[in-house]
Structure 1
């Protein structure tokens, strides 16, 4: 499988505190990959470095064959590397429609109408609430909006950072069904999650981070099939 995202030897931190310690990670074209690990493992820092929000100390980020190491986040978005951040980060005082349209501000503007219709097909509740202020939506609806906004940018790779956080069990089931559908449709997905069992059910490969380093990479069956790995890295 052709590599879409390639991260090699990535080191980064805050001030003098090292957070990422030589991270290597690959996501192939059309592949769904899980990045698992507990709070404080370095997952969000890795996301922010990949997406141009923080600059790395050393190492390389390549996407679609281009070097994006330390690139401005606008250039990252233009390349098609789109993150749906933890906490949704919607604009609460704008309508659902305005939030979605902002997703196409940098990328996907030419096909905004078609992409908007696709978002409404995926999330019919957003169509029903298109004129409603985003801040008045339920938590599950806000997560739908955040994902829909990300899809408006026509991602080549969609990073979902803790998308199931705070959702009811029923909405979590719906969310993971959507992720499986996106993968089956050929979209590359990097799923950053603490929900281990359901994440491993919808991805092709998995990485486990611990203390800023990758401790495991391989098939979900390999991770779940090893009692030692489950106990050491997943606490299950």
Structure 2
């Protein structure tokens, strides 16, 4: 029995990493959505008309206001119940520019007045859209992962084929015992690989491939390597199980 340690399958480890990454991404998406929902529910201001704002101001219920161009954001002096819900903050809109009369009334009511530049819309939009973008990206990633098995046939760059360079010690027909008939049939393939232009000038077409058939151990792989060696071309070697996995999964 061999004492060599069993090496972990890289595919299994990659699968575990993918599952952990998917779980982490899903958790982050849910966290962002929950935080946005809780924040919007807890700090949601009451939307009041300008007339209601003036009425609250006359009643001494306004504690602070901030002007952002024509927009008004403010805080009540005490929680106000509006349509069955309790609010501490409110927002409104002036019908025009802020007048001196409004500022005087605010000063008479001892309201804290502030003014700010309106925030850029893109930042707010991206902040609100980020959780949804992550959520959509997560499901796209899941879909592509599930479809990955069907797309493997087109991912030859990721195949497990082993490249044998023509610079390495060559295998030629002299290394193949017997199989004289097969060697004779493959000699034309070798000539084509050596000088394809010679056949193209005569109207010849590139062969799609040659299938070597025979029981295991009869020298099919050695014969294929000999063809590459005789023609001076690189040789790609892949086991049957890897080849089937690339197309079937």
TM-score by length of 1: 0.20
TM-score by length of 2: 0.19
Higher helix share: 2
Larger Rg, first or second structure (1 or 2): 2
Higher strand share: 1
